[in-house]
Amino acid sequence: MECSRPYTIALRDVPADGATFAWHLGDDFFKDLDQTEIEHGNLDCTLRVRHKADAYELYITMTGSVDIPCNRCLEPMEQGIDAETTLNVKPGSCFEDDGDVIMVPADTLELDIAWNLYEVIVLGIPIQHAHADGQCPVDVPFLVDDLGDEESDTETGSPFAKLKELMGQGRGDKEKS
Please report which confidence band the pLDDT of residue 144 belongs to, taking 50, 70 and 90 as the band edges.
Answer: very low
Residue 75 domain-assigned (yes or no): yes
Look up the domain containing 22 and give its range.
8-123
The tens digit of pLDDT for each residue in 26-53 reads 999 988 887 888 889 999 999 999 988 8
Numbers of helices and strands, H then E, in the chain: 4, 8
The pTM score is 0.73
What one-letter code names the amino acid at 51? H
Residue 113 domain-assigned (yes or no): yes
Residue 2 domain-assigned (yes or no): no
Residues 6+ apart with CB under 8 A from 96: 102, 103
Other beta carbons within 10 angstroms of residue 104's beta carbon come to: 22
152-155 contacts, C-beta under 8 A, 24 or more apart: none
Specify whether 46 is located in the same domain as 114: yes
Residue 62 domain-assigned (yes or no): yes
Number of domains the chain contains: 2
Specify whether 64 is located in the same domain as 108: yes
